[in-house]
A and B are shown apart, each in its own frame.
Chain A
Amino acid sequence: MAKSQALEVQEKKEVVSQGEQTVPARHYIPLTDIYETEDALTVVMEIPGVEKENVTVALENGILRIDCRLDFSKYGGLEPLYTEYNVGHFARSFSLSNKIDQQQINAQLDDGVLTLTLKKAKEAAPRQIVIN
């Protein structure tokens, strides 16, 4: 019974930003799972419809920012008849603690799921002091 749990529809939430976006279109917040293993912090986001080239992952001042643009050209020439969800660009940012090694971030996009693996910074190795 636990295996066949019916999925519920989650409405897309819009981004609430400090200033207005330059392009007056709606940006949505991708659903994200964040989990931590021994050596890395993994951020998994759902960004359906976005291709690899249109994803920007930037880490600046401890803030991880993900921006994804949707390619709308494939919707050209289509007339909507019935809609249940809207589409738009995705954006989300997280502030990271300094325990993350900022040089080693691995990103992978499969089937609309973006997986970011942020390796934790290694603690400084203890120094061996040699006694003369």
Chain B
Amino acid sequence: MAILYADPFDTLLNFQQALDAFRSSGWLGASPSGRGAYPPLNVFRQGDDLLVVAEIPGTSKSDLQIQVKGNTLRIAGTKSVHYGEKASLHRRERSTGSFDRAITLPVEIDADRVKAEYHDGVLALSLPRAERDKPRSISIA
């Protein structure tokens, strides 16, 4: 699906427009979702492997649970906000609660080599494609 040309991200606006263009991508399709659509995910391709990025500010590693089986990925956890006891709230926009989302990817993943990182509120999952799922190149005799 290489509609992106060399160095498409040289300006920020191009990158943002590229992200917008893939909003209606049917790549993921319908999938069983544990509960709701939080957190919103972006899926990127990095060579043969997938990179799933989600923004979940305000949780900690211990509050997140990530599971992979076959081609299903599950991200669950809780996001909490603490106010302190004698606080009077002027404005409240942040949400708190628990989330549990399962998505079915169209490619199979090697569960043993999945790497997850959580920095600055961004969860990045590097999902390598399973060896047996990779296509075989056929050479023409």
Contact = CB atoms under 8 A, between A and B. Distances in A.
A93 to B, nearest CB: 14
A27 to B, nearest CB: 10
B45 A25 contact: no
A7 B43 CA distance: 21
Interface footprint category on B: 35 or more
Contacts of B40: 9, 84-85
A87 to B, nearest CB: 7
Interface stretch (B66-74, B80-88, B132-140): B80-88
B97 A7 contact: yes
Interface in B2-20: 2, 4, 9, 11-13, 15-16, 18-20
Interface residues of A, number: 47
Given A6-B35, A7-B97, A36-B88, A81 B44 contact: yes
A113 to B, nearest CB: 5
A51 B121 CA distance: 10
6 nearest CB pairs, A to B = A112-B121, A112-B57, A48-B121, A84-B40, A25-B12, A78-B44
Contacts of B4: 79
Contacts of A86: 16, 19-20
A50 B120 contact: yes
Interface in A69-95: 72, 75-88
B65 interface: no
A37 interface: yes
B89 to A, nearest CB: 5
A88 B13 CA distance: 9
B25 A81 contact: yes
Contact of A7 (B28, B36, B60): B36
A42 B12 CA distance: 32
Contacts of A25: 11-13, 16
B93 A84 contact: no
A33 B94 contact: yes
Contacts of A24: 11, 13
